[in-house]
Amino acid sequence: MHFFNYLRSRLNDGETFSQLLFLIVKLGLIAWLILGYSILAGAQSFKVGSFNIRYDTPLDTGNLWVQRAPVVANLIRFHDFDVLGTQEGLKNQLDDLTAALPEYQRYGVGRDDGKESGEFSAIYFKKDKYKLVKSGDFWLSETPEKPSKGWDATCCNRLCTWIQLEDKVSASRFYVFNAHFDHKGRIVRVESAKLILAKMAEIVGKEPAILTGDFNGGHTSEWYTTLAESPLLMDSYKQVKYPYRNNGSTNAFGKSPASTQVIDHVLVTQHFQVKKWGVLTDTYHGKYPSDHFPIAVELLFKSKQN
C-alpha cells in the first residue's frame, strides 16, 4: 500500500507513466540481483566433516551402539553438516542413521564384498541441497578394483569411497573422497596415500575435490605428508589462522589419556577457501558418541564453479 501511495505521489509531481514504469523495472532488477547473489553465496558456503563412528561391537560395554546411535544422529543434525564422510559404520549403523536423518542421502559399499558386508566408508550429503552425479569405490591395495588387503596389511580390507555432487541451486560440482587407512602396516598406509592421489588425478582431473578420512596417522606421518604436501591437496587445518584444536581427534571412550594427535583429516584442492576448522568434543552424560571426535570444516568456493 505504501509503495502504491509513493507511485501516486510521483505521478502527482509530474512524473510520466513511462518514467514510473522504468523505475519499477529498475527496482525489480536490483531486488532480483540481490536475491540471486544471496542464494549463490549461500550455495557456495558449506560444512564438511569426517567422523569415525566406531563399529558396532558387543565388546564396547557402556558404549554400545544402541546407546550411541541417537547421540551420533543428534550430533550430525545439530552441527548441520552438508557433507559428512564416515568411517567404520556397519550396514545396521548406517541404516539407523539414515532412518534418524531423513534429510540425508548416503552412498557407500561394504569393504568385504563391495556390497553390504563389513565396514563402510559411507558419505552422507543433504539431499535437498545436492544431486548425486557420479559415485564409485576402490580398495587400498594392489588390486583396487576388488575387495582385497594391500601390501603389508594383515587385519582388514581398506576402502576409499567417492562421489561427485552438484549443488541444486548454483550447479557447482565437486568430488568427495572418503577413506579409512590401515592401523598397523606402514607400507600399506604410504602406498594407500599414493594410490588415492593417483585415483583422484584420474577421476577428478582439475575439478574441485575434498578428501575426508581416518588416516591413522598424524601431521608428521609419511602417508599424511604424501597427501597434504602433494600438488593436488592441502590440509584444511593449516589454512585457518585459529584452528579449534583443544585436543586430538581420538578419545578411546575415555579409557586412556587424552590424545593430542589429530589422525582424522579433511584435505581440499586449491578451489576452496577454508573459513573454519575444528575438533568437535561433544559428550553426553560424561560419555563420548564415538572413540573418535568428528572434524568439522567450513568451506567456500574461491570462485563460481561450473
Same domain, yes or no: 244 and 149: yes
Domain range for 103 is 46-301
Same domain, yes or no: 50 and 172: yes
Please indicate, yes or no, if residue 74 is contained in any of the structural domains.
yes
Per-residue pLDDT of the chain (306 residues; tens, 9 = 90+): 555 555 456 556 665 656 545 544 454 544 444 445 444 444 468 999 999 999 999 999 999 999 999 999 999 999 999 999 999 999 999 999 999 999 999 999 999 999 999 999 999 999 999 999 999 999 999 999 999 999 999 999 999 999 999 999 999 999 999 999 999 999 999 999 999 999 999 999 999 999 999 999 999 999 999 999 999 999 999 999 999 999 999 999 998 777 899 999 999 999 999 999 999 999 999 999 999 999 999 999 997 544
Same domain, yes or no: 7 and 138: no
Same domain, yes or no: 158 and 213: yes
Residue with cell 568427495: 176
Question: Whole-model pTM?
Answer: 0.86
Query: pLDDT per residue over 266-304, tens digit each?
Result: 999 999 999 999 999 999 999 999 999 999 999 999 975
Query: Which H/E stretch holds residue 192?
Result: helix 186-204
Please indicate, yes or no, if residue 159 is contained in any of the structural domains.
yes
Please indicate, yes or no, if residue 202 is contained in any of the structural domains.
yes
Count of structural domains, the chain: 2
Which of 168, 170, 144, 167 lies closest to 157 in space, CA to CA?
A: 144
Same domain, yes or no: 84 and 23: no
Please indicate, yes or no, if residue 12 is contained in any of the structural domains.
yes
Please indicate, yes or no, if residue 199 is contained in any of the structural domains.
yes
Residue 203's CATH number: 3.60.10.10
Please indicate, yes or no, if residue 196 is contained in any of the structural domains.
yes
Q: Which whole-number Å values give the CA distances from 85 to 3, 178, 287, in the listed order?
A: 50, 6, 22
Same domain, yes or no: 23 and 140: no
